[in-house]
Amino acid sequence: MGFRAHFALRDRAGVRLFASHWGGYRLLRDLLHGPEAFLAYVVTRRPADELYYGDAVDAVALIDTERKALRFWGGDNLNIESSPPLRRAYLTALGRRWPGWEVLWAPGGIYELADALERPLPEPAAFHVAALLDDALARDDGQPATVITLLDDARVVHDRSAGLRVEQLLTLGPTLVCEALSRPPASLPRERLPDPDDDDARGHGGLILDARARVVECWWSYPSPTRVTALPLLARFWPGWTVSLAADGLVRHVDRTGRPRARVELPVAEVAQALEARLFTPDVDLVGEARAAFDDLAAQLAASPGATLSHAAGARTDDAGLPPPTRLRGQIASLLRDD
């Protein structure tokens, strides 16, 4: 059990790596304390020599005090990173809590951190492509899952939709241009705030195809590390084209084609309310729950001959992150307002 996190601190002395068994749980909320409090928290975590393997990591942060740059990924533990409008709003709020810093979201997660530290993990791309396509085929029910915007050679804009996932459509390569044109026209949908329990919505996304420039921009509601690491291999289906991740979601379709964001964007007040609700969801006693689960397992094994099961006494109860930034409760909307 756990919500494992890696924190990397880069300063004049070099790079220091830290690990936390529970610190990934509310990383996005912890970062809102600002650089001073968050740095003080990081340096009290357990020093680490090696990175956890990829699937074991729930959150990462790289803090570069020399460049005043923060890169982070929170594992969507607060159901914020799987919603493009919430993600954009959170980045705006976080930037105002870290004034003077470059604040970047790192959807590649542990793999992005490993590359930044020049400690690359074993290449997972081929495995991730296979897993994505298998999952997409299993889930395909014909309902709209991907929004497609095509800019043809004459710069005419065509909006379409498809029941296939982004990763499936990417395997079609440039033939997707003609395939998209053969589909009936569809209006761009408005952004929405999906139910946190709707796992299927995380795989919905979009494609922007520029036929003249030979550019493909793609996005998923949740561009997980699996999707990000798979993208370079999926790009091989598009020889001569540039394939990139567009993390902003539906607003990228209108930005790219010169249309107003108001066509798809949610009202700021609605997004602020949802963001605050997810940031300040009542805490769960993670360490307490883990101990209870351990004690229950120990009781079940007690009758087994020779069973030995123990946990370290005095396990840290502060490892689940910082206390809530209560001063920000009710203030998220003000952080999102343009000055």
pTM: 0.86
Q: Are residues 24 and 98 in the same domain?
A: yes
Q: What sign does the CA torsion over 139, 142, 143, 147 have?
A: positive
Q: Residue 74: which CATH number?
A: 3.30.420
Q: Are residues 130 and 239 in the same domain?
A: yes
Quote the pLDDT of residue 121. Answer: 76
Q: In one letter, which amino acid is 238? A: W
Q: Are residues 14 and 117 in the same domain?
A: yes
Residue ending a domain, among 104, 122, 140, is 122
Quote the pLDDT of residue 143. Answer: 66
Question: How does pLDDT run along the chain (339 residues), one tens digit per residue?
Answer: 689 999 999 999 999 999 999 999 999 999 999 999 999 999 999 999 988 876 788 999 999 999 999 999 999 999 999 999 999 999 999 999 999 999 999 999 999 999 999 987 766 656 556 666 665 544 444 567 899 999 999 999 999 999 999 999 999 999 999 999 999 999 999 999 988 888 888 889 999 999 999 999 999 999 989 899 889 989 999 999 999 999 999 999 999 999 999 999 999 999 999 999 999 987 655 555 545 544 554 455 555 555 444 444 444 556 778 999 999 999 999 999 876
What does the alpha-carbon distance between residue 326 and residue 328 come to, in Å, rounded to a whole number?
5
Quote the pLDDT of residue 338. Answer: 78
Phi/psi of residue 318, nearest 5 degrees: -95, 10
Q: Are residues 240 and 257 in the same domain?
A: yes
Quote the pLDDT of residue 312. Answer: 43
Exposed / middle / buried, residue 84 (Cβ in 10 Å: 0-12, 13-18, 19+): buried
Exposed / middle / buried, residue 312 (Cβ in 10 Å: 0-12, 13-18, 19+): exposed
By residue range, what is the domain housing residue 232? 126-266
Among 90, 31, 71, which Cα is nearest to 336's? Answer: 90
What does the alpha-carbon distance between residue 228 and residue 226 come to, in Å, rounded to a whole number?
6
On whether residue 336 sits in a domain, the answer given is no
On whether residue 322 sits in a domain, the answer given is no
